[in-house]
């Protein structure tokens, strides 16, 4: 397994890979190259929500499908969007609006009672993006749940031998970007048939920078 110090060296290389200062804040991306997995025989469908220990400067946008008291509490807790049952009926006949909703938010949560309707109405738009909502119980602590999701990122394999996603941005120092990366790596490992032995290499890069490849995790 790669150590924290080893990975942090790669983060530093990625940060300094381009001398030119951009007019926007760049993100750090982690790319995990996998090996020894036959995707024809193994259903490699990784779609992991990882709650990062260090939040990105731009929090993830979270939409909640809810009714009644849960909808009121969701708004008070700071949900970026609350969609009630009546709006679901409108979305059923407005495909463009439904597609926009699916694109605009990174994560979706839902009252358990609305899950069947969401699957029927929004499943064609959320499903292919790996964004089907996570159910929330009627008395769930929405403040803490929303706080966690706003620090979350999604890593998907899309059936290929690689997994990629954000692990930080320039506002975080190298140590915090590394902590985020190791949290992702640890969670993805648990989804692989042979754990870390299925990881070929780790690559970290900034949005416009050159990739920095970490040493082989296993030989």
CA dist 82 and 95 (Å) reads 18
- Per-residue model confidence as pLDDT tens digits over 50-95: 999 999 999 999 999 999 999 999 999 999 999 999 999 999 999 9
- Per-residue model confidence as pLDDT tens digits over 108-161: 999 999 999 999 999 999 999 999 999 999 889 999 999 999 999 999 987 689
CATH 3.40.50.300 for domain 62-149, yes or no, is no
Q: Would you kindly state where each structural domain of the chain is located, as residue ranges? A: 4-57+152-213, 62-149
Architecture field, domain 4-57+152-213: 2-Layer Sandwich (3.30)
202 φ, ψ to 5°? -125, 130
C-alpha to C-alpha distances, 189 to 4, 25, 35, 177, 199, nearest whole angstrom:
16, 29, 12, 18, 8
Q: Which residues of 38-65 are buried (b: 16+ CB within 10 A; e: fewer)?
A: eeeeeebebebbbebebbbeebbebbbb
Q: What is the β-pairing status of strands 81-83 and 152-156?
A: unpaired
Q: What predicted TM-score, i.e. pTM, was given to this entire model?
A: 0.88
């Amino acid at each position: 397994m790669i150590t924290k110090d080893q990975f942090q060296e790669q983060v530093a290389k990625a940060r300094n890979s381009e001398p030119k200062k951009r007019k926007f804040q760049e993100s750090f991306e982690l790319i995990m190259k996998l090996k020894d997995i036959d995707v024809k025989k193994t259903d490699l469908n990784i779609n992991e929500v990882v709650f990062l220990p260090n939040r990105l400067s731009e929090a993830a946008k979270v939409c909640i499908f809810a009714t009644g008291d849960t909808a009121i509490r969701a708004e008070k807790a700071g949900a970026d969007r609350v969609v009630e049952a009546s709006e679901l009926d409108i979305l059923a006949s407005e495909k463009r609006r439904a597609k926009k909703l699916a694109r605009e938010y990174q994560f979706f949560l839902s009252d358990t009672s609305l899950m069947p309707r969401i699957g029927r109405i929004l499943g064609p738009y959320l499903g292919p993006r790996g964004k089907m909502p996570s159910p929330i119980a009627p008395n769930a602590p929405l403040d803490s749940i929303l706080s966690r999701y706003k620090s979350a990122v999604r890593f998907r394999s899309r059936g290929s031998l690689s997994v990629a996603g954000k692990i930080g941005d320039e506002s975080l120092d190298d140590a915090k970007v590394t902590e985020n990366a190791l949290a992702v790596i640890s969670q993805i490992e648990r989804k692989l048939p042979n754990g870390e032995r299925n990881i070929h290499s780790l690559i970290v890069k900034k949005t416009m920078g050159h990739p920095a490849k970490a040493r082989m995790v296993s030989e």
